[in-house]
Chains A and B, each alone.
Chain A
Amino acid sequence: MNRVEAYDKVTGRAKYAYEYGVGEVAYAHLVQSTIARGRIRSIDPGQALAMPGVIAVLSSDDPPELGSLDDAELALLQSRAIAYRGQIVAVVVAETPEIARAAERAVRVEYDAEPHDVLLRPDHPGLYPPEKVNPGLPTDTERGDVAGGLADAAVTVDATYTTPTQHNNPMEPHAALAVWADGGLTLYDSSQGVSAERATAAKVLGLPPERVRVISRHVGGGFGSKGTIRPHAVAAALAARATGRPVKIAVTRQQMFEVTGYRTPTIQRLRLGADADGRLTAIAHDVVEQTSTIVEFAEQTATPTRVMYATPALRTTHRLLRLDLPTPSWMRAPGECPGMYALESAMDELAVAAGIDPIELRVMNEPLTEPESGLPFSSRNLVACLREGARRFGWERRDPEPGIRLDGRWLVGTGVASSTYPARRMASRATATAEDGGFIVRIAAADIGTGARTALTRIAAQTLGTSTERVRVEIGDSALPQASLAGGSMGTASWGSAVVKACEAMLKNGAVGSADTTEDVEADSGFARHAFGAQFAEVRVDIDTGELRVPRLLGVFAAGRIIDDSLARSQFIGGMTMGMGMALMEETVVDEEFGDFLNHDLAQYHVAACADVLDIDAVWIEEEDPYLNPMGSKGIGEIGIVGTAAAIANAVYHATGRRIRDLPITPDKLVS
């Protein structure tokens, strides 16, 4: 089936947050700090207010009343302290977006600047262990004798890998429209989860949740950056409250780099030991990463290492550094994505050092139970993915010798890496009703471009034993039954569980079914639940210029039952394309002098262009898993990006004999 909203999207009828029409609307623009650390000495809005069409300038001179200051990134205009360059210091409201933007430059802000610290380094005295890493996992783990395992090993790898700051850059920039009426707020926002956003907005603004409604029917990508309410939506609400007008705000692409989150850079030291046969004797994965000075965000970078391979000794650690930069946030496959780049690169180095095929090395170290927890896997088909991928990719013809395959002026190589992502679900509610000869399913889910609306339509139709044409799924509105967000690859599993349950209830009583999966989700224990995959890459490196191309990318995944083939393929290859971008080009440069992100548009922050994506394919193996949810499905939104960068970096080594341990692998690192 086509996506249910396909026609609306291609005809432009699908409305995104900024496109809702409302009378008397005014426009807001953010004024941002130009120092990275210090205090605001004075704010003079006089010149801006004198401009024709300017309605108001909100600032900490008259702090807007808020209900909660707990989240310092959302507690707008409350303090004169500056925690990073680009922090919101004022909000201009005007009759047109152009006037608002022009007036932004007319707001005079004086600062008392202090020296800033924006550079992550592994020897920084400020490094500390956070209490937990996201989403509430232990910061450090240690099992067995790691030092002994490394000392006794026949083969060891001790290597440090770095990943740079990265930004999500969804196609649709963050935007919101705030409308107050009768003491309540309606917020049209670009959001990955309207229920959670309603709760947070209500808390921040000091309203009971039932006085807030969040609408987000169509979202042009989020990748985590719209997973929680961002400051622009709070700014719109405050501006609308202050001016008595509906207020729209569009975050510029440049502003997105400071205001909508990013992935922390990571410095990861991997130590692996193995016996002469390649069996692991120890793994140590030590991570250094950053957060801001105002909110702690601890990416769970080493956590996939707790899942992947059998070893008698395993240690993982995370150390954070508070820097004068914006708070990092969710970016596609947080934790797994950077962590598996390092682990899977190190596994490739171990295979080379031990003289073992990298697939055989992984197969040999396949665990019987989850290494850290000892829990049984609900299902684990990593080996099947590696074998199937090897067959499809032609791995058996591979000569492991690096740097010897020259095709014209191109050095050619291939690489492999494993992939993994947790298969979780969260509690949600849904209703199903028989109406007008068909069925309507209501749930405050989100379709951020994934096809969730379509997947839920299929799930409902299958449960109801009817055709998808007779089912309508309403999502993207917090007035609908409360649901979890589109994040952590949990959307379909969480919402689908509620939809199935509501449809089953409706079938029983014939008219209306409602469901709440809180108890079902609470009963989810006793198993380690993860999706697995194998990524294969072929690269070509120009010996003169260091230009790198990826003629082939293949992903093989085991993710439970696949609900919709074309949507799944789109998710997988979308993730793999992002993984290619991570490997080859994505890098936000920190400007040490000014203390901010230097490159902040799509001309300078490169993501893969269509021309970079050549032969890319994703397939999956049949996987039956009765311990997941009624659909038997695992999330597929994020696993596609996990491991891609390692497969490409491993292929670069195979092609050139050079191990590049600092992403991205740009021509300057390969030219000689």
Chain B
Amino acid sequence: MRPFEYARALDGPDAVARFRPGTMYLGGGTNLVDLMRLGVAEPDHLVDVSRLPFDRVEASDGGLRIGAAVRNSDLAAHPLVRERYPMLARALLAGASGQVRNMATVAGNLLQRTRCPYFQDVTKACNKRVPGSGCPAIPGDHRNHAIIGHSEACVAVHPSDMAVALAALEARVHVTGPDGDRVVPIPGLHRLPGTEPHRDTVLEPGELITTVELPSPPAGSSQYRKVRERASFAFALVSVAAVLDVGGDGTVRGCRLALGGVAHVPWRAERAERALLGAPATEEEFVRAADAELDQARPLPRNGYKVPLSRNLIVRTLRELTP
């Protein structure tokens, strides 16, 4: 890897003050260090934010405030998460391996890069890595790539499990940066690729995630289900985070659905949610809702299987959540 400078930030303002062009923030390093070895990321300066005081999980206003540097394994094991947001715990535990989760931070998980093999190989073109160089995944192997919201410039998917659960839970990300603090909702943090696939998120240079805030848990029961090629340590082919609240009359009072493995972002399935609200909680309605969402799917020649897989997974998960 290329030589770089390393500095450990003392606090949030110190980290932001140290930021200049060529700087990257270092969390657990489980993705960034790999990318540096591969030459995909070539920062001149690393500012280590893994030991900032953003390492606590606290109850607040009926919700939860999660420090950006909290380790994935700690978050998954936290009693408040297990008790009130079991879907988030499941999503975390569905990701990576025990060793990786022990290192990876919450903010790093949100900001991890796609595992598209072309992105990770500097000898090949990739619009996300080198804007304008092309996307070989479109004519090439894209079995694990996007079916929704992709563009001619990029068909990569976001790899996180945790982010899918956070999208369903309507988490908000607190950010500090050169221009002050702001709050970004999680559906909204990640961008669709459009013509600028090199921008994964709406964060501006130098902005640093300090806290992830969860509102109080939505009513109903929830589940996170992930389909992958082996029983552990594999990225999702498709995953779903679902919350379903069914009233005494058997109709859907509330529904949250988010999909992983299908888009450049953790995909909030709003069309399916709208289709279900007030509808009877029946298999037919679940199918109708899933189809309403997947109507907009534009699978590539080799990943068409993700459409029936997504549909089946949505229907199956909602059925299991129906009382």
Contact = CB atoms under 8 A, between A and B. Distances in A.
Contacts of A56: none
A619 to B, nearest CB: 25
B232 A593 contact: no
B308 interface: yes
B248 interface: no
Nearest to A98: B1
Contacts of A592: 140
Contact of A609 (B143, B230, B309, B312): B230
B229 A611 contact: no
Interface string A583-602: 01100010111100011100
Given A544-B313, A545-B309, A592-B140, A611 B231 contact: yes
Nearest to B3: A102
A544 B143 contact: no
B309 to A, nearest CB: 5
Contacts of B143: 668
A105 interface: yes
A544, A547, A584, A591: most-surrounded residue (chain B CB, <10 A) = A544
B316 A591 contact: no
Given A549-B231, A609-B231, A598 B140 contact: yes
Given A101-B1, A105-B39, A603-B115, A594 B136 contact: yes
B141 A604 contact: no
Interface size class of B (residues with CB under 8 A): 35 or more
A621 interface: no
Contacts of A594: 123-124, 136
A547 B143 CA distance: 16
A612 interface: yes
Contacts of B315: 544
Nearest to B233: A609
Contact of A604 (B115, B140, B303, B312): B115
A34 B124 CA distance: 9
A545 B232 contact: no
Interface string A103-117: 001000000000000
Interface in B124-149: 124, 136, 139-141, 143
Given A102-B3, A604-B115, A34 B123 contact: yes
Contacts of A105: 39, 122
B117, B118, B308: most-surrounded residue (chain A CB, <10 A) = B117
A549 B230 CA distance: 8
Interface residues of A, number: 36
A653 to B, nearest CB: 19
B308 A585 contact: no
A668 B237 contact: yes
A interface majority secondary structure: loop
Given A544-B313, A549-B231, A668-B237, A604 B117 contact: yes
B316 A593 contact: no
Contacts of B2: 102
Contacts of A672: 308
A547 B227 contact: yes
B230 A585 contact: yes
Given A593-B139, A612-B230, A671 B305 contact: yes
B30 to A, nearest CB: 11
A606 interface: yes
A612 B118 CA distance: 28
A544 B136 CA distance: 31
A612 B117 CA distance: 24
A546 interface: yes
Contacts of B316: 409, 544-545
A561 B212 CA distance: 62
Interface string B33-44: 000011100000
A377 B115 CA distance: 52
A214 to B, nearest CB: 30
Nearest to A668: B305
A92 B123 CA distance: 18
A608 interface: yes
A666 interface: yes
A545 B115 contact: no
Interface string A155-184: 000000000000000000000000000000
Contacts of A376: none
A620 B305 CA distance: 42
B309 A591 contact: no
A418 B305 CA distance: 33
A667 interface: yes
A611 B227 contact: no
A518 to B, nearest CB: 46
B234 interface: yes
A667 B227 contact: yes
A545 B122 CA distance: 34
Contacts of B115: 603-604
Nearest to A594: B124
A418 to B, nearest CB: 26
B141 A598 contact: yes
A603 B97 CA distance: 11
Contacts of A544: 312-313, 315-316
Contact of A102 (B1, B122, B124, B313): B1
Nearest to A106: B2
Interface string B282-320: 000000000000000000000101101100110110000
Contacts of A593: 136, 139-140
A51 to B, nearest CB: 9
Contacts of B230: 584-585, 606, 608-609, 611-612
Interface in B50-76: none
Contact of A589 (B139, B141, B231): B141
Contacts of A604: 115, 117
Interface in B193-241: 227-235, 237
B3, B229, B237: most-surrounded residue (chain A CB, <10 A) = B229
A105 B39 CA distance: 9
Interface in B217-269: 227-235, 237
A669 B124 CA distance: 28
Contacts of A102: 1-3
A589 B145 CA distance: 15
Nearest to B309: A671
25 contacts: A98-B1, A101-B37, A105-B39, A105-B122, A545-B312, A546-B305, A549-B231, A584-B229, A585-B229, A591-B136, A591-B141, A592-B140, A593-B140, A598-B140, A604-B117, A606-B229, A606-B230, A609-B230, A609-B231, A609-B232, A610-B232, A611-B231, A612-B230, A667-B237, A672-B308
Interface of B: 1-3, 37-39, 115, 117-118, 122-124, 136, 139-141, 143, 227-235, 237, 303, 305-306, 308-309, 312-313, 315-316
Given A585-B230, A599-B117, A611-B232, 6 more contacts: A34-B123, A545-B309, A603-B115, A668-B143, A668-B309, A671-B312
Interface of A: 34, 98, 101-102, 105, 254, 409, 544-547, 549, 584-585, 589, 591-594, 598-600, 603-604, 606, 608-612, 666-669, 671-672
Closest 9 pairs between A and B when the two form their complex, measured CB to CB: A611-B231, A668-B305, A544-B312, A611-B232, A544-B316, A545-B227, A612-B231, A34-B123, A671-B309
